[in-house]
Amino acid sequence: MDRLLLDCGSGGKASHRLIQELFLKYLGNSYLNTLNDAALLAEIKTPLAMSTDTYTVDPLIFPGGDIGSLAVHGTVNDVAMLGARPKFLSCAFILEEGLQMSLLEQIVRSMGEAVKRCGVYIVTGDTKVVPKGVVDKIFINTTGIGEILRQPAPSGSRAKPGDVIIISGSIGDHGLTILSKQKGLSFEAEVQSDSAPLHNVIEELVVNLPEVHVLRDPTRGGLATTLNEIANQSKVECYLEEERLPIKEPVKQGCNFLGLDPLYLANEGKFILILPKDHQDQALKILKKHPESRESVVIGEIRDGHKGKVVLKTELGGKRLLDMLEGEQLPRIC
């Protein structure tokens, strides 16, 4: 069989073959292999962090990753942002009839590699096959749970005046990569997605630092949107300095060319850390130890002034508002 048939989602023998020969082959573990209606999670400490996300990225495979690894990293990161250690994932596929089996296998294999890298288990799953045209090839939903490492957990509402804002590396890489590969755009950039798991460095930060106020990964909507959310939730001003923002040259140039703003481009392997200035040096020391956050820098601070807003000090020295994006800047990037 080189193409997926509707039968494979029927619940009958064809479904079972798909589960055995593909999903269990790459994703199997003692939880999933029982094939019960639900997974029994005996060893887990409360309180828990839980997060869900659905992945619809187009194209499915892109420089630096694919929808499979993205669906693992993305949810692992969301769980980690609560200062938690991700443990278990669920995974649901919605597949289009006629999908090439080799493509599906490539993606499931990539997911399998990603869960191993992250040290998490996919413990329950679901597969639906829908008629051609109902979805675009593969959509994946993953839900993750993890153990909260410390209380109170970091939250978008805990930023306080006097805190510093740190970003764990360059921004806009994922968004620009996807855009440059999307059909219909005759444009290529020498850049790749930053899709990566962040939970290891997060764990070290949360466990070792006296205080962590906010952890957020600036995915869709980018750095500007996430900081606006934080400013709103915490009722503070986020003050950013443009000349400190780490943006790679090809991303800058690609954005210039396409009229996009890297501050609004999605990231899939970066996080924002907000904490009291006193702990800044200790945080940077930890961040720089881990390859995924080696290029961490302080990009601004939390102030009392324009509450609920993000203020940007431009390279020129002027000040302006950095507003939230109105709608999509790009279609289907994650």
User: What are the residues binding other proteins (CB under 8 A)?
Assistant: 184-187, 249, 258, 306, 309, 311-321, 323, 326-327
Q: What is the rounded CA–CA span in Å between residue 273 and residue 228?
A: 14
Nearer CB in complex with other proteins: 132/252:
252
Nearer CB in complex with other proteins: 133/318:
318
Q: What is the rounded CA–CA span in Å between residue 246 and residue 172?
A: 9
Nearer CB in complex with other proteins: 50/258:
258
Q: What is the rounded CA–CA span in Å between residue 246 and residue 37?
A: 46
Nearest distance from C-beta of residue 318 to other proteins, angstroms: 2
Q: Which are the contacts of 44, defined by CB distance < 8 A and separation ≥ 6? A: 87, 88, 145, 147
Nearer CB in complex with other proteins: 190/249:
249
Q: What is the rounded CA–CA span in Å between residue 210 and residue 233?
A: 22
Q: With left for phi above 0 and alpha for psi between -120 and 50, is residue 119 left, alpha or beta?
A: left
Task: Retrieve residue 267's tokens.
Answer: 């990231």
Nearer CB in complex with other proteins: 47/305:
305
Nearest distance from C-beta of residue 213 to other proteins, angstroms: 25
Nearest distance from C-beta of residue 191 to other proteins, angstroms: 16
Nearer CB in complex with other proteins: 210/317:
317
Q: What is the rounded CA–CA span in Å between residue 113 and residue 73?
A: 11
Nearest distance from C-beta of residue 243 to other proteins, angstroms: 9
Nearest distance from C-beta of residue 307 to other proteins, angstroms: 12
Nearest distance from C-beta of residue 306 to other proteins, angstroms: 7
Nearer CB in complex with other proteins: 258/298:
258
Strands 297-303 and 237-241: antiparallel
Nearest distance from C-beta of residue 259 to other proteins, angstroms: 8
Q: What is the rounded CA–CA span in Å between residue 72 and residue 88?
A: 10
Task: Tell me which residue has tokens 């109170």.
Answer: 152
Q: Where are the alpha helices (DSSP H) in the chain?
A: 13-18, 24-27, 67-80, 101-118, 173-181, 199-208, 222-234, 249-258, 280-289
Q: What is the rounded CA–CA span in Å between residue 207 and residue 80?
A: 12
Residues linked to residue 273 through DSSP beta bridges, in sequence order = 166, 215
Nearest distance from C-beta of residue 225 to other proteins, angstroms: 13
- Give how far Cα 137 sits from Cα of 57, 62, 91, 106, 293, Å: 10, 15, 16, 13, 33
Nearer CB in complex with other proteins: 154/254:
254
